[in-house]
Structure 1
Amino acid sequence: MDGNQTETNASSCLYQPTEWLYPATYWYILVICVLGIVFNVFVLTVFCLHKKACTVAEIYLSNLAAADLLLMSCLPFWAEYVNKKYDWPFGGGLCKMVNVFIIMNAYSSVYSLVLISIDRYLALVFPLSHERLRRPLLAKVGCLVVWVLSFLLSVPYLIYRDAITYPSNITKCTINYPNDATYLGCDIMQFMLIFIIPVFIISICTFKIIQTLRCRYRDGLNIQKKEEKATFLVLAVLLAFLVCWIPFHIMKIIGTLKDVKVLTLTCNTLIFMHIWHPILLYLAFFNSVLNPILYVIVGKNFRKKVREVFKQWSHRRRATFSLTSTRTQMTKS
């Protein structure tokens, strides 16, 4: 995302995107930005306005929606950057801030999913013995810890990301590490903390959840409908996350191995990676739009909450209209 051409360490391996790619990418980013903001605001509104307090799973899903909303609010800046053919027009401050928020979204999203996975694991595998660990207050504290850690882990981007003007008079919003060791250390840290460790925890919890569900269905044991519905929604959200993010991380691993000279890639492979890198990145961004859609399609409890919130709003509107009419009649009389 930092430029529009790639060079091999040999010589003349150049790739120049076609002109239509910039406006197409610009409009794609804007569309997912608008959809993501509208859908995630809708999710947060439903959870906040519903008369009943959120369950532990809903607290984590709300945190995920807040993280997705943060990402969507940053994308218009990146859309304009792409539209200007990667010439950053917003200065160094916004370059740092936008990228820190994007990385914070990545950390907070994946660790919200880790908390969701652990919660579903405890709810199904240890429904009674670990119930004290599944209290709303602890869930809120967990979300706060996730945001604090997300910011701390984003500090390298706050330090090293900046707007740099090149002799060609083009300004790039790029990372400027002081040396290769810092670059490699930051990349390995990010890869481990944002992909390997959380995906390992999510995979273990998901495996145990599916195993428990299969055993209970096989043995004819009853599962609380509420827990079952919440679990199916969580599994759908986890699957969507893996489908959207794993291809991008695989591409990033290959790029890092190439940069540290562990892999030697041909010119055609580099061009292929350069074409697919932004595509896979924007597929990952689409995950923030997909999550609210899954809440509506898969989440029966969420649909029930939506209906109840609309009923509340309808009752309040009728009550306000009735009060206004009464006052008007009293005034006339």
Structure 2
Amino acid sequence: MNLQPTSVPYLSTTAFNGDQNHTNGTDCPQQYDWEWLHTGQPVYILIITVVGIVFNVFVLGVFCFHKKACTVAEIYLSNLAAADLILVACLPFWAVYISNGFNWPFGLFMCKVVNLGIKVNSYSSIYFLVLVSIDRYVALVHTMSHARMRRPKYAKLGCLLMWGFGLLLSVPTIIFRRVKYFPEYGVNACFLDYPNVTAGLFFDGILIVFSFIIPILFISFCTIKIIQALKIQAIERFNAQNTERKATNLMLAVLLAFLICWVPFHMVTALDVLLRADILGGCHLESVLDICNQISTYLAFFNSVLNPILYVIVGKNFRKKACELFQHWKIRKNPNYESSRSSNLSATLKTSV
């Protein structure tokens, strides 16, 4: 199973993963009407694209153009916003692909690039959350002993390594993505052409392990320690820095949103791997997983829109930065504003004297 919508309405996901000898058309009859799903997909994708681009550009604008340098946590969150922006920028191609009857009109190069952007997001975004969790863990649990680790230059280096790691894990997308005409379905499909079923199972297993299991273990450990530290501070009536608490609340909110949006996708992916490994079986299960794949994939995409909303709702420091930035732009746009304000102040002082 892929992170991208790769199935046609009447073709099993396994066919576009390289196992072209086993499809719904040969082994299992089509049990569900896909029309309702694929009619709404392009509209949903375009909405996600527009809202996601506007929101994530707004977040990056606040972080990049504010006069104060970003904190370590903000460096991680800005990179997360950049990853989300790359994802939503790739989605319009899939909207056209689906509305075009699953005919890929953009050529082999764009087939690889678009899917590479989506795949890099799937790997990098979770590891930016890992970095945020580690930062909150160090800030609240090891406040003094590891303070040296919480420096912007180390945060930037960590983000660079995570981008590189995400790109490295996405290499199979560059190698195995193909555009091929399927005469039995009448479509030019952009699909993952693995050499055999074993290769497909292996790379899907890597996706589950490296983009979910391992990072979730890190995040869970850090989150448990953070919550314990906050409880101890509350019992001892120890007031941690307000900034650290606000950043921690935002991190927990972003993490919860990630779990809600991504856990269904990884569960469906795991079940699909078991299905293709012949550990599970049945036409009904295969058909249900095909539909669940589509739904869970687009729920995962929604996370890229939800993150910037959480910055505004939960992130008090972010809202403060945004207001300060807008105020600064207002003053620059109206240069007479400050002078008139000073004149009014001077007149008031003279009158009062």
Same fold (TM over 0.5): yes
Contact 2:331 2:338 in 1 (8 A): no
Deviations 1:272-312 (A, max 9, x none): 22222111110000000000000000000000001100111
Say which SS state the counterpart of residue 226 (structure 1) adopts: helix
Query: 2:270 aligned with 1:253, yes or no?
Result: yes
How far 1:99 sits from its partner (Å)?
0.5
Give me the whole-angstrom Cα distance separating, in 1, the residues matched to 2:25 and 2:127: 37
Contact 1:22 1:85 in 2 (8 A): no
- Look up the SS of the partner of 2:335 in the other structure: helix
Deviation of residue 10 (structure 1)?
8.2
Matched, 1:26 2:30: no
Matches within 5 A, 1:250-289: 250-264=267-281, 266-289=282-305
Give the letter aligned to residue 173 of structure 1.
C
Give yes or no for contact 1:95–1:163 (8 Å, CA) kept in 2: yes
2:223 corresponds to 1:206: yes
What does residue 177 of structure 1 align with? Answer: 194
Alignment: residue pair count: 322
Aligned to 1:194: 211
Q: How does 1:1-333 map to 2 (within 5 A)?
A: 1-3=5-7, 4-5=9-10, 6=12, 7=23, 11-15=27-31, 17-168=33-184, 169-264=186-281, 266-319=282-335
Stretch of structure 1 that moved more, 225-234 or 169-178 = 169-178
- Structure-1-length-normalised TM-score: 0.93
Task: Give SS of 1:29's match.
Answer: helix
In structure 1, distance between residues paired with 2:118 and 2:31: 27
Supply the AA of the counterpart residue of 1:27.
Answer: V
Does 184-193 or 201-210 show the bigger shift? 184-193
Cα distance change of structure 1 residues 8 and 283 upon mapping to structure 2, 3 Å threshold = same
Q: How far apart, in 2, do the equivalents of 1:225 and 1:207 lie?
A: 20
Q: Does the residue aligned with 2:195 lie in a helix, a strand or coil? A: coil
The one-letter amino acid of 2:231's match is R
Tell which deviates more after alignment, 275-284 or 293-302.
Answer: 275-284
Structure 1, unmatched stretches of 5+, are 324-333
Cα distance, 1:246 vs structure 2: 0.4
SS in 2 for 1:221: coil
Contact 2:331-2:337 at 8 Å conserved across structures: no
Which whole-Å deviations, capped at 9, do the CAs of 1:21-43 have from their partners, x for residues lacking one? Answer: 32311000000110000000000
Aligned mates of 1:71, 1:153 — CA distance in 2? 16
Q: Secondary structure at the match of 1:185?
A: helix
Kindly state the Cα deviation for residue 17 of structure 1 after the two structures are TM-superposed: 3.5
Secondary structure of the residue that 1:276 maps to in structure 2? helix
Amino acid paired to 1:273: L
For each residue in 1:157-190, what CA deviation from the matched residue of structure 2 results, as whole angstroms up to 9, or x when unmatched?
A: 1000111111233111111111223222212222
Q: Report the alpha carbon displacement of residue 90 of structure 1 after superposing the two structures with TM.
A: 1.1
Give, in whole Å, the separation in 2 of the partners of 1:321 and 1:14: 67
Does the 8 Å contact 2:101/2:187 carry over to 1?
no
User: Hey, what's the Cα distance between the residues in 2 that align with 1:246 and 1:163?
Assistant: 30
Equivalent residue letter for 2:120 = M
- Secondary structure of the structure 1 residue equivalent to 2:68: coil
Aligned residues: CA RMSD: 1.7
Q: Whole-Å Cα distance in 2 between the matches of residues 140 and 235 of structure 1?
A: 21
Alpha-carbon separation, structure 2, partners of 1:36 and 1:170: 30
Letter matched to residue 269 of structure 2: K
Q: Percent identity over the alignment?
A: 51
Q: Determine helix, strand or coil for the equivalent of 1:174.
A: strand
**Cα distance per residue 1:78-101 (max 9 Å; x no partner):** 111111222211111111111111
Would you say the 8 A contact 2:265–2:297 is kept in 1? yes
Structure 2, gaps ≥5 residues long: 13-22, 340-353
The TM-score with structure 2 as length reference comes to 0.88
CA distance in 1, matches of 2:336, 2:98: 48
Supply the AA of the counterpart residue of 1:76: P
Q: Corresponding residue for 1:330?
A: none
Shift of the 53–268 alpha-carbon distance from structure 1 to 2, 3 Å rule, reads same
Shift, 1:19, TM fit: 3.3
Cα distance in 1, alignment partners of residues 291 and 205 from structure 2: 23
